[in-house]
Amino acid sequence: MKSKQPERSFSFLRTNERKAKPRTRGLTEIRGPYYSVVGRRYLEDLFELVGEYVDSLKFAGGSFALMPETAVRNIIELCHHHNVLVSTGGFQGSDAVRQYVAECERLGFDIIEISAGFISISTDDWLRLIELVRKSGLKAKPEVGIQFGAGGATAAAELRAEGTRDPNWAIAQAKRFLEAGADIIMIESEGITENVDPWRTDVPAKFINEIGMDKLMFEAADPDVFAWYIKNYGADVNLFVDHSQIVQLECLRAGIWGTKSLWGRVVTYKGANK
């Protein structure tokens, strides 16, 4: 069911048109509790102001495992009230995978992120995990990237020592995951726009050229990074940002604010869909 968009203030001022939720393009996932405490009362304010622009919330890392069950449930219920899906971060114990997935289902999560930033598993193992998540009635969101050891707080020098993988291999993996029923692919920023100089701008271009934008979401929890994605791929690119950045990001998508290189240049045309 499409959500009804609330009447915004200053409605006479032009902004880029946004599809109502649930949408498939221009998705924004926000990071929940991890670098800062994000509880129900904070999210009530956030959703009251800009909830229409948030499509999903992610419990980064294993943050939910530190919280009282009632607090986790309260956050999930609030998200669902505002038509916001809830995702895990890339966290699960290899000895308790089935129990972990079952617990996510019981608590009301919608999406399980499957990440192998710190470990090495075969593509067939990934596919079995995707199948397990889907059979549990949840959406599978594999996280794919080119940087070995990505995730957490690994220093840039350590990541350089780890090296990177061939982008073509990561793209081939992503294609197999989508064929197996993955809902969307999260593209890890490390090695592409994080802890790397210069940025590997060729990598997002290769992913988009091979897969298209609709099934890709790019980690972009830095204003310069999400501004770059919008500048190069338009307002409808799917992005993962920190909860504190949602207003700044949406101002760029809407075309009402921006840096010198973006001010007045982010536009959309939806006329053909009317």
Task: Identify whether the C-beta of residue 181 lies closer than 8 Å to the C-beta of residue 140.
Answer: yes
Is residue 184 packed enough to be buried (19+ CB in 10 Å), middle (13-18) or exposed (0-12)?
A: buried
What are the φ and ψ backbone dihedral angles of 147, each rounded to 5 degrees? Answer: -95, 120
In the block, tokens 């109502």 appear at 20
Task: Identify whether the C-beta of residue 219 lies closer than 8 Å to the C-beta of residue 188.
Answer: yes
The strand pairing partners of 156, in sequence order, are: none
Sign of the Cα pseudo-torsion (178, 180, 184, 190, in order):
negative
Cβ-proximal residues to 248 (8 Å cutoff; 6+ apart), any chain: 223
Fold of the domain spanning 28-273: TIM Barrel (3.20.20)
What pLDDT shows up at residue 274? 47
Domain locations along the chain: 28-273
Provide the CA 174 distance to its chain's centre, in angstroms.
Answer: 15
> What is the spatial distance between Cα 174 and Cα 185, in angstroms, rounded to a whole number?
7
What pLDDT shows up at residue 202? 97
Task: Identify whether the C-beta of residue 76 lies closer than 8 Å to the C-beta of residue 82.
Answer: no
SS3 of 4-31: the string is CCCCCCCCCCCCCCCCCCCCCCCCEEEE
> What is the spatial distance between Cα 13 and Cα 213, in angstroms, rounded to a whole number?
29
Here the tokens at position 60 are: 């980064």
Q: What is the rounded end-to-end Cα distance, in angstroms, of the chain?
A: 18
What pLDDT shows up at residue 46? 98
Position 84, amino acid: V
pTM, two decimals, is 0.93
The strand pairing partners of 47, in sequence order, are: none
Cβ-proximal residues to 98 (8 Å cutoff; 6+ apart), any chain: 132
Mean pLDDT by 10 residues, the chain (274 residues): 75 91 96 94 97 96 91 97 94 77 96 82 92 97 84 65 84 97 96 91 98 98 96 97 97 90 87 57
